[in-house]
Amino acid sequence: MPKGQVTTVPDDGLTTRARRTQPLLAVHTGEMKGKSTAAFGMAMRAWTQGWPIAVYQFVKSAKWKVGEETALTALGRLHEQTGEGGPVVWHKMGSGWSWSRRQGTEVDHAADAAEGWAQIKRDLAAEAHRFYVLDEFTYPLTWGWVDVTDVVETLAHRPGTQHVVITGRDAPPELVQAADLVVEMTKVKHPMDAGRKGQRGIEW
């Protein structure tokens, strides 16, 4: 796709305008940092369009201070006060657990993940939002806590023009196949390889 130009035009009977507004399923995967950051950057673009935004964060503790949450919820308050941009909701779907499965029991985590996905299904069916970030959602899929087939089928048949971005390592092949846009973050260098710790304003 050099300089944003398509290499082929699909024979789908759609106009250029209709093709431009098709809802996208994006997957940000790979071992390197930046998957969630890129998704939240897309969410900020969506906010400027006035789209209702929902973030479902699956594996970060509710106690963690996430910079993107602070920024996006502030934009949500700005919308409430001035009408600028769009509304923002942020859901923490875990129970203070991380992708390394610390804290709590696996049964608890699996139940939380299943309920989180059930909520997303309800919101998609109701067309509650226009832009969805399912942050770190690949982990419940990989661990078998949420059924991949159900996710792929639900997203394939979601109504309206709801865009969905899923982040996390090791995205299942079925999800990758179903997605319209897939990015794999590959490490070239990382400061932690040299013993440097994560930094305020960079990692959080």
pLDDT of residue 175: 98
**pLDDT below 50 — which residues of the chain?**
95-101
Q: What is the pLDDT of residue 99?
A: 41
pLDDT for position 97: 43
Distances (CA, A) of 36 to 16, 20, 153, 160: 30, 24, 23, 24
List pLDDT tens digits, range 120-167.
Answer: 999 999 999 999 999 999 999 999 999 999 999 999 999 999 999 999
What pLDDT is recorded for position 174? 98
158 vs 60, 72, 143, CA distance in Å?
A: 26, 24, 24
pLDDT at 152: 98
Domain edges within the chain:
21-187
Say whether 188 sits in a helix, a strand or coil: coil
pLDDT at 179: 98
Residue corresponding to tokens 């078998």: 144
**Whole-prediction pTM value?**
0.88
In CATH, which of 3.30.70.20, 3.30.1240.10, 3.40.50.720, 3.40.50.300 is domain 21-187? 3.40.50.300
The Cα 67–Cα 147 span in angstroms is 30
Residue type, 48: T
